[in-house]
């Protein structure tokens, strides 16, 4: 179970970061993870999906969202929700918007995808 606060990319400065050592917060995190993975290949160091990508921890969920996302947020959330019910158990919530949004979720299964100027977040509700 993980609690996740994900800052939206709009909060970072709009700058073209082309080198791995540039100061962009996201590129430095990704670079550090890549370097650790390269340096420790013989020891087979693996990171949990949530460390590799804070926006999605399930590839099947990502695929379902990408196959069902639509340019209209209302249509997208309904299509995605219907497809998710066929693939996943539990209570799955779906949020789609054309505007940036912030969220805090408690979930073991989540994915956020942006396509067609729509951002959709899908997650399974956590039970205590």
Are residues 73 and 33 part of one domain?
A: no
Q: How many domains are contained in the chain? A: 2
Are residues 63 and 40 part of one domain?
A: no
Three-state SS at 34: helix
* CA 68 to chain centroid: 16
State pLDDT tens for residues 85-115: 999 999 999 999 999 999 999 999 999 999 9
Within-domain flag for 1: no
Give yes or no for residue 60 having a pLDDT over 50.
Answer: yes
Are residues 120 and 76 part of one domain?
A: yes
Cα–Cα distances in angstroms (integers) from residue 68 to residues 26, 74, 90, 122, in the given order: 27, 12, 20, 12
pLDDT of residue 53: 60
Q: pLDDT band at residue 24, thresholds of 50, 70 and 90?
A: very low
Q: How far apart are the first and last CA of the chain?
A: 10
Provide the pairing of β-strand 110-115 with 118-124: antiparallel
Query: Which range of residues forms the domain containing residue 33?
Result: 18-47
pLDDT of residue 38: 40
């Amino acid at each position: 179970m993980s609690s996740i606060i994900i800052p939206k990319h709009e909060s970072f400065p709009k700058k073209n970061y082309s080198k791995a050592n540039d100061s962009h917060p996201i590129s430095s995190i990704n670079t550090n993870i890549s370097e650790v993975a390269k340096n420790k290949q013989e020891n087979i160091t693996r990171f949990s999906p949530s460390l590799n990508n804070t926006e999605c921890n399930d590839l099947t969920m990502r695929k379902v969202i990408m196959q069902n996302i639509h340019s209209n947020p209302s249509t997208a959330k309904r299509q995605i929700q219907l497809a998710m019910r066929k693939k996943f158990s539990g209570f799955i919530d779906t949020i789609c918007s054309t505007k940036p949004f912030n969220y805090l979720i408690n979930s073991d299964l989540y994915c956020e995808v942006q396509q067609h100027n729509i951002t959709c977040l899908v997650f399974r509700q956590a039970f205590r």
